[in-house]
Amino acid sequence: MRTTVGIIGGGPAGLLLARLLHRAGIDSVVLENRDRAYVEQRQRAGILEQGTVDALRACGAGARMDREGLEHHGIELRFDRRGHRIDFPALTGGRSVMVYAQTEVVKDLVALQLAEGGPLLFEARALAVEGADTGSPVVRYTHRGREQTLSCDVVVGCDGFHGIARSAIPEAARRTYERTYPYSWLGILADVPPSCDELIYAHSPRGFALHSMRTPSVSRLYLQVPNGTDPADWSEERIWEELDARFAVDTDWTLERGPITAKSVTPMRSWVTEPMRHGSLFLAGDAAHIVPPTGAKGLNLAVSDVVVLARALEHRQRTGSAELLDAYSDTCLRRVWRAEHFSYFMTTALHTDPEQSDFDGRLQLAQLHRIADSTAAATELAENYTGLPIR
C-alpha cells in the first residue's frame, strides 16, 4: 500500500491522529497489532484534561463522551484525617476534567475511523520501519498471514513503550531519561457506586490511596504497594480494610464496598526519549514518554502530541512549509517535561517512600498544607491537573 501518513498503533493516539488527518484531507493507514476486541477492552486511563475534551469535540468524537462522561470540577486532597477540595473552575478560569474511560474513547474513534476514515487494519503486526532518514520510509508488517509493505511520506509511531517504532531511531541519535519509583499501585475495579463525587488523593503514613470511578456504578481504586507485589496476595477483605484505613477522616464519610472484578499491579516510572523525531519518523504518546499515573497525564500527553503533529502536517500541506514539522519535537517536549515534573511532584508529595525519614514525612505534610492554605499553590496544582493549553 501507499499512503501519506503511516500510523503504527491503533490506540487513542493513533486513532485520534488518523481522525484529525482525515478531517484535514490527509490520507493515512493505521496498523494495529491486536484485534478489535482487545483494543476496545484495553484498560488504561480515565481522566481527560480540558484540552483533550476540546480536541475530541472538535473532531466529531465527543458526542457520547458528553452524554455519558462525568465532568469533574475538582479533586480532594486528604491528609491528617481531613479533606481539602481543589476547585478547578474557580482557580483556572472555568477549566475542568472529564472522567471517561480510555476504552470508550477508543470505541468512539474506531467507529468513526471505520465509517469515515482510511484503512484501519487490526492484527497487522509492524515488523520494522525502514528508510526513515531517506524521506521515503517503508513499514514492513504482517497481515492475514503474509508480510506486506506500507510506503509513506511520514511514519508515526503510536505503538507504545514496547513498540518497534522507537527502535528505528539509531541509539546514537537519541537519548533516554528515566526515573523508577520504589513502589507500585495495586488497582481494582469494583461493582459499587463511587463513595465520592470527585477523585480523592489520600496521603497516609500507611501509604497512598486514590479513589476514582469509571461510571456511576463502577469504582476504580488504587493502593500504594511494594514493587513486586502479587495481586493474588491481596484478598478482597484485605484490600477494603486497607483502603478504609488510608481514606480515614474525622467525619461520617464511609467507603462503600462491593465485589472486586479486576486486580492488577502497575509499576511507577518516569521515562522520556529525545528527540521525538528522526527524519520522516515521528514518535507520539508512550512510544516517546511515560509518566507515573498520579497526575493523570499519560493519555493526555499522547493527545497533545498528535494534535500538534496533525496541525503541523496540515500546515505543510496547505503552505508547503515544514516549519511546524521541524519544531514538532521541541514543541511537544516542552509540554512533556512540564507534565513529567507535575507527575513527579504529585507522586513524591503523596506517596510514602519506604526509605524516607520522619523529616521527609514532615516536608510532605508541609507541602500539602501549603496547597490547602494557599490560593497560589492550589492554582498551580489546578492549572497543571486540568492541563495547559495545547500550543
* pLDDT tens, per residue, the chain with 391 residues: 999 999 999 999 999 999 999 999 999 999 999 999 999 988 777 899 999 999 999 999 999 999 999 999 999 999 999 999 999 999 999 999 999 999 999 999 999 999 999 999 999 999 999 999 988 999 999 999 999 999 999 999 999 999 999 999 999 999 999 999 999 999 999 999 999 999 999 999 999 999 999 889 999 999 999 999 999 999 999 999 999 999 999 999 999 999 999 999 999 999 999 999 999 999 999 999 999 999 899 999 999 999 999 999 999 999 999 999 999 999 999 999 999 999 999 999 999 998 999 999 999 999 999 999 999 999 999 999 999 887 7
Q: Which of 141, 181, 183, 201 is catalytic?
A: 201
Strand, helix or coil at 25?
coil
**pLDDT reported for residue 181:** 96
CA distance 138 to 38: 26
- The three-state DSSP-derived secondary structure of the chain is CECCEEEECCCHHHHHHHHHHHHCCCCEEEECCCCHHHHHHCCCCCEECHHHHHHHHHCCCCHHHHHHCEEECEEEEEECCEEEEEEHHHHHCCCCEEECCHHHHHHHHHHHHHHHCCCEECCEEEEEEECCCCCCCEEEEEECCEEEEEECCEEEECCCCCCCCHHHCCHHHCEEEEEEEEEEEEEEEECCCCCCCCCEEECCCCCCEEEEEEECCEEEEEEEECCCCCHHHCCHHHHHHHHHHHHCCCCCCCCCCCCEEEEEEEEEEEEEEECCEECCEEECHHHCEECCHHHCCHHHHHHHHHHHHHHHHHHHHHHCCCHHHHCHHHHHHHHHHHHHHHHHHHHHHHCCCCCCCHHHHHHHHHHHHHHHHCHHHHHHHHHHHHCCCCC
| 385: annotated active-site residue | yes
Grid cell of 156 as nine digits? 508515526
Number of other CB atoms surrounding residue 179 within 10 Å: 13
What predicted TM-score, i.e. pTM, was given to this entire model? 0.94
Grid cell of 1 as nine digits? 500500500
Q: What are the residues whose beta carbons fall under 8 Å from the beta carbon of 27, sequence distance 6 or more?
A: 3, 4, 5, 21, 118
| 297: annotated active-site residue | yes
Q: Which of 73, 278, 297, 351 is catalytic?
A: 297
CA distance 2 to 4: 7
| Structural domains of the chain sorted by starting position, each given as residue range(s) with its CATH number in brackets | 5-70+100-177+269-346 (3.50.50.60), 181-268+353-386 (3.30.9.10)
Nearest to 370 by CA among 386, 353, 349, 385: 349
pLDDT in tens, 321-363: 999 999 999 999 999 999 999 999 999 999 999 899 999 999 9
Q: Which of 72, 73, 203, 211 is catalytic?
A: 72
Q: How many residues does the chain have?
A: 391
| 344: annotated active-site residue | no
Q: Identify the residue whose cell numbers are 494495529.
A: 32
**pLDDT reported for residue 162:** 93
